[in-house]
Amino acid sequence: MRWSWRKVEETFFRCLMMAAVVLVMLILLWILLTILVRGVPALDWEMVSRTPRGGFYLGKSGGILNAILGSLFLTLGATLAAFVAGLPVALYLTCFRGDSSRTAAFIRTVLDVLWGIPSIVYGAFGFVLMIWLGLRASLLGGMLAVALLILPIMIRGMDEVIRLVPRELYDSAYALGATKMETAFRVVIRQAAPGILSTVLIALGRGMGDAASVLFTAGYTDALPSSLLEPVATLPLAIFFQLGTPFPEVQERAYASALLLTILILVISGVARWLIRRYARQVVR
Amino acid sequence: MTGEHVIHARDLNVYYGQLHVLKDITVAIPRSKITAIIGPSGCGKSTLLRSFNRLLETMDNVRLAGSVRLGPQDVYAPGVDVTLIRKKMGLLAQRPFPLPMSIYENVAFGPRLHGIRNRRALDRLVEDNLQLTGLWSEVRDRLHTPAVELSIGQQQRLCLARGLAVEPEVILADEPTSALDPQSSRRIEECFRHLKDRYSIVMVTHILRQARRLADYILFLYMGELVEHGPAEQMFNAPRRELTREYVQGVIS
Ligand SMILES: Nc1ncnc2c1ncn2[C@@H]1O[C@H](COP(=O)(O)OP(=O)(O)OP(=O)(O)O)[C@@H](O)[C@H]1O
Ligand SMILES: [Mg+2]
């Protein structure tokens, strides 16, 4: 059997792809192993059930319940706000504007640019916005900044999945005498529901993991979140502060916090995937 | 409503951008009959059908001139409620597209839009219209399962029932059997035969045998022009135009 050039080419690229897959898997595994190995020993019930005590950052007792709850409240609030603000925009782009609309194309370009802006810029902008509104670093301020950060992701993501809804489905609804609004809200959204849920999930993950946007806007506190107008702790910043101490036992807890953040996101995506599967049953393929 | 004809099109011209796809169409569609629009691919059959219920204007590069009347009503008159126009003309597409909800919800969707909320009334409507399309006995035990789980043929009959539930005067069908197996096609044809006493049916087909089997009246379109129209008998056996004769005999296609 002779080796033809095409066969060499084929084999070469097959190897290259395998290598890439293996590399990606290794990196993922490495990250998970790191936070597991370093985090699990420091993870105990106190970690998730208590707030920092005096001397927590010096290695004394306490937990990061403040940051867990803070991150949850902040991200859920921001995601909800971005969803509510983003859905009408996505529907406008798809259901109310034709495919050849210049306005829609322009808005999409703007959103793609916004998507690319680093999160620290959203933090800085949120900070300016807060001063302008007379707010100080608070849960509300953090929500605002994170909502802005994930808004482009939310809109463009929903836009893309809604664009996959077949023309004929719109026609079916129109032919029954549905208005554009009724078609959008009762048919298109349902058809796109699995995709919309995945988008929300991606946006939520992005928001929950981001430190830079909440640094100035949410502040940090050892207390549990109590009011929209009080500062609030978040997991990314909890990790940052603990990792920044010179004490190994506190650094261990940073990894435990990272582990908790990961678990939190995994649980949320698990629930969402279950929902997606339920909605996907109804969808026309 | 009475009158011999249900739809009147007059000097209808349609353009997609620069492309002139329907040229000076003037025709009347008979009431309570099955009318078939035949003609080669790309001659504008679907366009004509969609100009009747104003679905054309949902595309963004379309221009239309001329008039269409449904009974006494001018379909394109300024200020008419387009949803009420569309409601009077059920649509059956080439491939069935059930709405992403249950069988029951599919049929109840239209009536709900138009204000029927009463559960008993909706139950009745769902049952009656599923009966009309012969689907009731097949799905009565699973009304609340997703409509997409039905077979393609059942889905098409569901789409028909869904359209009937808003009590249209006309059924517009665009090659309604072309995605179906022979058995399912036959069932759709049977439905049409039963329904034509109560509804006027306009169907696009490029299956000449189907047109022969079903149609009472035929429109023959060729490259955007209405070459000839008349009772099926005459169109198939004694067409006036040479082009029509060649087409119905399968010389051109
Ligand atoms: N949205 C559109 N934009 C531009 N041109 C179009 C559009 N839709 C249809 N056309 C063109 O208009 C002409 C008529 O199309 P139409 O779909 O009405 O034909 P048809 O007779 O239904 O054909 P078929 O039997 O293949 O379904 C065709 O030449 C087609 O290419
Ligand atoms: Mg067609």
Q: How many whole angstroms separate alpha carbon A110 and alpha carbon A102?
A: 12
A167 and A194 share a domain?
yes
Q: Are residues A24 and A80 in the same domain?
A: no
Same domain flag for A8 and A76: no
Query: Which residue puts its alpha carbon closest to atom 26 of ligand 1?
Result: B41
CATH number, domain of A258, equals 1.10.3720.10
pLDDT in tens, A25-51: 999 999 999 999 999 988 889 888 888
Ligand 1 atom nearest to CA at B50: 18
Q: How many structural domains does chain A have? A: 2
Nearest to A168, CA basis, from A157, A160, A176: A176
How far apart are alpha carbons A192 and A161 in whole angstroms?
6
Q: Do residue A214 and residue A100 come from a single domain?
A: yes
Among B13, B18, B19, B23, which residue has the most ligand 1 atoms within 8 Å of its CB, making it the best to mutate?
B19
**Do B99 and A170 lie within an 8 Å CB cutoff?**
no
- Domains of chain B from N-terminus onward: 5-97+167-248 (3.40.50.300)
* Closest CA relative to residue A201, chosen from A193, A189, A212: A193
B 18-47: CB under 8 A from A: none
By the 10 Å C-beta count (0-12 exposed, 13-18 middle, 19+ buried), B170 is classed as buried
Does residue B210 carry a pLDDT above 70?
yes
Q: Indicate the pLDDT class of residue A1, thresholds 50, 70 and 90.
A: low
Residue A244 shares a structural domain with residue A149: yes
Per-residue confidence (pLDDT) for residue B163, from 0 to 100:
95
Report yes or no on A24 lying in a domain.
yes
Residue A88 belongs to a domain = yes
A32 in any annotated domain: yes
Average pLDDT over residues B186-200: 92
Mutation for testing the A interface, residue in B62, B80, B99, B154 having most A CBs under 10 Å: B99
Which domain range does residue A25 map to?
2-42
Please state the pTM of the whole predicted model: 0.87
Average pLDDT, integer, range A64-78 = 95
Q: Does B60 touch chain A (CB under 8 A)?
A: yes
- Please tell me whether residues A70 and A183 are part of one structural domain: yes
Residue nearest to ligand 1 atom 2, measured at CA: B16
Same domain, A172 and A225: yes
Average pLDDT over residues A250-259: 92
- Do A23 and A68 share a domain, yes or no? no
pLDDT tens column, A84-132: 999 999 999 998 887 778 899 999 999 999 999 999 999 999 999 999 9
A48 lies in some domain: no
A51, part of any domain: no
Angstrom distance (rounded) from CA A151 to CA A199 = 11
Chain B contact set for A100 (CB, 8 A): 60-61
The verdict on residue A47 lying in a domain is no
pLDDT band for position B38 (cuts 50, 70, 90): very high
- Tens digits of residue pLDDT in A191-235: 999 999 999 999 999 999 999 999 999 989 988 988 899 999 999
Cβ neighbors of A237 (< 8 A, separation 6 or more) are A67, A211, A214, A215, A218, A220
Residue A170 with chain B: CB contacts under 8 Å: 58
Give the pLDDT band of residue A155 (cuts 50, 70, 90).
very high
Same domain, A190 and A84: yes
pLDDT value, residue B2:
59
Q: What digits encode the pLDDT tens for the residues B124-177?
A: 999 999 999 999 999 999 999 999 999 999 999 999 999 999 999 999 999 999
Q: Per the domain annotation, does A71 fall within a domain?
A: yes
> Do A171 and B159 lie within an 8 Å CB cutoff?
no
To 10 degrees, what angle do helices B182-195 and B119-132 make?
A: 110
Quick check: CB of B42 below 6 Å from ligand 1?
A: yes
Q: Do B97 and A177 touch (CB under 8 A)?
A: no
A269: confidence class by pLDDT, cuts 50, 70, 90:
confident
Task: Indicate if A274 and A174 belong to the same structural domain.
Answer: yes
Q: Which two tokens stand for residue A123?
A: 């933090």
Q: Are residues A136 and A237 in the same domain?
A: yes
Look at residue A42 in the predicted model and tell me its pLDDT: 86
Q: Tell me what the mean pLDDT of segment B96-115 comes to.
A: 95
In this prediction, what percent of chain A has a pLDDT beyond 70? 99
Do A96 and A185 form a contact (C-beta atoms < 8 A)? no
Where b means 16+ CB within 10 Å and e means fewer, B205-237 reads: bbebebbebbbebbbbbbebbbbbbbebeebbe
A22 and A133: one domain? no
The reply to whether A270 falls in a domain is yes
